[in-house]
Amino acid sequence: MGDMTEPRWLTDEEQHVWRAYLHATTLLEDHLDRQLQRDAGMPHIYYGLLVQLSQAPRRRLRMTELAKSAKITRSRLSHAIARLEKNGWVRRENCPSDKRGQFARLTDEGMEVLRQNAPGHVAAVRQALFDRLSPDQVKQLGAIMRVMAEGLEPTDADADLPWLR
């Protein structure tokens, strides 16, 4: 822990790549947020929740499952689902096997919103990303992102260890 030696700063190239990364990822995030807010009336993350639900077995998932796969806290999900429920796109259902549990289920209206907006969203992603990258670059991006995720994946160790530093 007490690594008080001179830190290894980023090389010039690394700095450039890092800035390009921050620049590009925030631009894309903003772009998709705006696109979906405008067309579907919700931010990107909310749209992602609907997508997850639409692909789940009976179009429903336990709250904790959904939170995990969307990588947000349960608290945040509670608020988000409350909002989506108000819109009529999601409905809560009790879990019979565990009375603490709740399912979030995608309603038909929610499915319809998804149907209407999926083409536009895919087009936005295409236009920003896949239509601009060469096939090689798409593969490279995939490999790089997988490496990144591996290093950051919240393992069980993280939960147990008292935080480092």
Residues within window 47-76 making contact with DNA, judged by CB under 7 A: 62-65, 72-76
What, of DNA, its own copies, none, does residue 148 touch, CB below 5 to 8 Å by kind? its own copies
- What the block records as the tokens of 109 is 């209206």
Task: Supply the minimum distance, in Å, between the C-beta of residue 117 and its own copies.
Answer: 11
Q: Does 102 bind DNA (CB under 7 A)?
A: yes
| Distance in angstroms (rounded) separating the CA atoms of residues 23 and 8 | 23
Task: Supply the minimum distance, in Å, between the C-beta of residue 73 and DNA.
Answer: 5
Which of 1, 2, 7, 57 is in the footprint of its own copies by CB under 8 A?
Answer: 7
Question: Which among 64, 48, 45 is positioned nearest to 106, based on CA atoms?
Answer: 48
Q: Does 139 bind DNA (CB under 7 A)?
A: no
Q: Does 111 bind its own copies (CB under 8 A)?
A: no
Q: Where are the alpha helices (DSSP H) in 41-134?
A: 44-55, 63-70, 74-86, 108-125
Task: Supply the minimum distance, in Å, between the C-beta of residue 138 and DNA.
Answer: 28
Burial 22-44 (b: 16+ CB within 10 A, else e): eeeeeeeeeebeebbeeebebeb
Strand order in the sheet with 60-62: 60-62, 102-106, 90-94
Q: Does 144 bind its own copies (CB under 8 A)?
A: yes
CB 89 within 8 A of CB 107: yes
Residues within window 67-96 making contact with its own copies, judged by CB under 8 A: 71
Burial 145-163 (b: 16+ CB within 10 A, else e): eeeeeeeeeeeeeeeeeee
Q: Does 150 bind its own copies (CB under 8 A)?
A: yes
- For binding to DNA (CB under 7 A), which residues are involved? 30, 34, 37, 42-43, 45-46, 62-65, 72-83, 92, 95, 98-103
- For binding to its own copies (CB under 8 A), which residues are involved? 7-10, 13-14, 16-18, 20-31, 38-39, 48, 71, 118-120, 122-123, 125-130, 132-133, 137-154, 163, 165
